[in-house]
Structure 1
Amino acid sequence: MRTELAVDSWQATRDTLHMWTQIVGKIRMALTPSVNHWWHVTLYLSARGLSTGPIPVPGGILDMEFDFVEHRLVLRSSDGERRYLPLAGQSVASFYAATMDALGSLGVEVEIHPVPNEVEVAIPFAEDTEHCTYDPEQAQAFWHQLIDAGTQLQRFRSRFIGKVSPVHYFWGAMDLAVTRFSGRTAPMHPGGAPNCPDSVMHEGYSHELSSAGFWPGGGAEGAYYSYAYPAPAGFADAEVPEGAYFSDALGEFLLPYEVVRAAADPDALVQAFLEATYRAAAELGEWPVLTA
């Protein structure tokens, strides 16, 4: 059964969790060798929540996981050491301090840019006492939405035989995404994301792509999205399944999660949306045929 979670109902928890995942994501970014399109900064779904996966550190491996079952941040090192930080009752400032202290106790030294990205108001982590709400049921419900979306995106990913990203969580916008590439370079992206250097977008969009995912926006309960860069002529007019539409404001197709939940065959609807929007990008853009 798909989880109902109205976007407006969990804004306080969402905003706090957004900042917490940015902190952990920036730690991964600082410690991990760079990979094209910023694939080295993302988090991944796990059986407990969201994980960094293995991070190389001197003498071994570190991983960090948001555990949405027991509602704690877990830090594990390959020498057997563990640290646990409760998620409830913490501001961003206290979470940031506790996380950096826990890393230090594991012998991990790291410096990050301690200010959030891709938000209009960027409060430095060490000063952010405004975001301090964590509702365990809401966080777990969001994780369940991500699990559902992850299953759909993995199925969609498997049909592509060209260059394709993992299914991964970008903490800048809280979206779970998968991206297919045509193999051709793209015009330089204009940038413009709030509190984010244009160079980030230049690298992320260096090659022609069709990207799809899920994020807690775009609908009353979140939405699947799909866009192309650069968008070929006629892309916005492509036929998509009933309930989906092109958002001029966002420049992408949306399929609200509440539409998916109400569908007679939700899985088929999501796959049809993902396939139709990719086909629009690939056929109008004259991509090579790269599906199995």
Structure 2
Amino acid sequence: MSTPWPELDYFGWRDTCSALHLYLQVAGKYRLAHTPWVNHSWHATFYVTPRGLTSSLIPDGPGIEILFDLHEHQVVGTAGDGHTASFPLRPMTVAEFHTDFCGLVSDLGGSPKFDGQPNELPNPVPFTKDHRDRPYDRDAVRRYHRALVSIDRVFKTFRTSFLGKCSPVHLFWGSFDMAVTRFSGRRAPLHGGGIPALPDDVAQEAYDREVSSAGFWPGGGGIEYPAFYAYAYPAPDGFRFAPVQPDAAFWHEGMSEFILPYDAVQAAEDGDAALLAFLQSTYEAAADLGQWDRDLLECRRGRPSIVRPTDALTNPDTR
């Protein structure tokens, strides 16, 4: 039987990971160009499915969904009129992927018009000019997807114990992180921007409310191993010194976030419980130090087939 927390060797699949990130950026920029803006860029994200990552329905042409099938290793487009088109994920250049992707959208009756520059990467190379040969490690991609399925399960469980505004569990193709974010309901100070290859107004809109956010990176961007993260914006006084769980979690000074290495979850006797402890303890630190109205915002963690009791507002049980 396969473990729900597969081993992830970032250095072993780093180049494939970078390639998959850029391929998702191409598809993400297409979705971004054709989808009305939703708060905090939620309209541009991808979602985990049993087979890979989906864009959900994009309002272009007859309506188009893009699926990165990480089991059969292909990009599959499905149109609202029933037509499908696909091409294989394989060793290729980003420019080749861009050409194949635009052809797929055209075949489905869509308009492949979108910005051709990557976001949130230093020194971005336009998609059509990126001719570097990139590998494609099928086994590593499958392990990454299996990890995402487990992460999606735990993040969604964590999400159930919050009554306030909360993001979907989704993957941002810009920074290539899977995230879930809770909101206090209060406005936040204007964000300073400065994120590489991302307009300041996008970052400022994303952080215009107080947040406690957690997520997962496969590696890169200052963390050369797969890891979970948690941060608050604005970070309340004393946040970095808050006690968090499990023992493997720590405050990363350079990134100003709590970090939990994926390996600690993968090696834990109960990986789900270890990750839930990290999510809950970092949120509680942000909420308590930030003086969130927890009685109003929280409820008992959801259980299958059991309606949330009406007294959960005043008697939250997140065990």
Q: TM-score range by the shorter chain?
A: over 0.9
Q: Distance in 2 between matches of 1:132 and 1:207?
A: 39
Opposite residue 194 of structure 1, the aligned amino acid is P
Paired amino acid for 1:15: S
236-245 vs 97-106, which moves further: 97-106
How far residue 15 of structure 1 moved from its aligned partner, in angstroms, is 0.8
What is the aligned partner in structure 2 of residue 171 from structure 1? 173
Structure 1 runs (4+) deviating above 4 angstroms are 218-221
Asked if the contact 1:30/1:112 (under 8 Å) is kept, the reply is yes
1:206-217 equivalences under 5 Å are 206-217=208-219
Report Cα offsets for 1:208-248 as digits up to 9, x if no partner.
Answer: 00000111127664111100000000000010120000101
- Kept in 2, the 8 Å contact 1:15–1:131? The answer is no
Letter in 1 for 2:189: P
Classify 1:69/1:83 alpha carbon distance in 2 versus 1 (closer, same or farther; 3 Å): same
- Secondary structure in structure 2 of the residue aligned to 1:64: strand
Unpaired runs of at least 5, structure 1: none
The C-alpha deviation readout for 1:127-153, integer Å capped at 9, x for no partner, is 111152211111111111111111110
Matched, 1:254 2:242: no
Q: Which residue of 1 aligns with 2:122?
A: 120
TM-score scaled by structure 1?
Answer: 0.97
> What is aligned with 1:203?
205
Match of 1:9 in 2: 12
Q: Measure, in 1, the Cα distance between the counterparts of 2:132 and 2:211.
A: 37
CA distance in structure 2 between the partners assigned to 1:191 and 1:220 by the alignment: 24
SS at match of 1:52: strand
Aligned residue runs from structure 1 range 90-169, under 5 A: 90-169=92-171
In structure 1, the partner of 2:304 is none
Could you tell me which residue of structure 1 aligns to residue 187 of structure 2?
185
- 1:184-224 Cα distance to aligned partner (Å, 9 max, x none): 11001111111111111101101000000111127664111
What SS does the corresponding residue of 1:191 show, helix, strand or coil? coil
Tell me the secondary structure at the aligned position of residue 211 of structure 1.
strand
Structure 2 match to 1:57: 60
* Deviation string, structure 1 residues 70-112 (Cα, Å, up to 9, x no partner): 0000000011111111001221100101111121122211421
CA distance in 1, matches of 2:224, 2:265: 12
Aligned mates of 2:290, 2:204 — CA distance in 1: 20
Q: Is this contact kept in 2: 1:220–1:258, CA < 8 A?
A: no
For the Cα contact (< 8 Å) 1:122–1:195, is it kept in 2? yes
Structure 2 residue ranges without an equivalent (≥5): 300-319
Aligned pair in 2 of structure 1 residues 89, 220: CA closer, same or farther (>3 Å)? closer
C-alpha RMSD of the superposition:
1.2
d(CA) in 1 for partners of 2:92 and 2:78?
Answer: 21
The 1-side partners of 2:168 and 2:126 are apart by 30
Question: How many residues are aligned here?
Answer: 291
Query: Secondary structure at the residue paired with 1:201?
Result: helix
Higher mean alpha-carbon deviation, 3-12 vs 102-111, is at 102-111
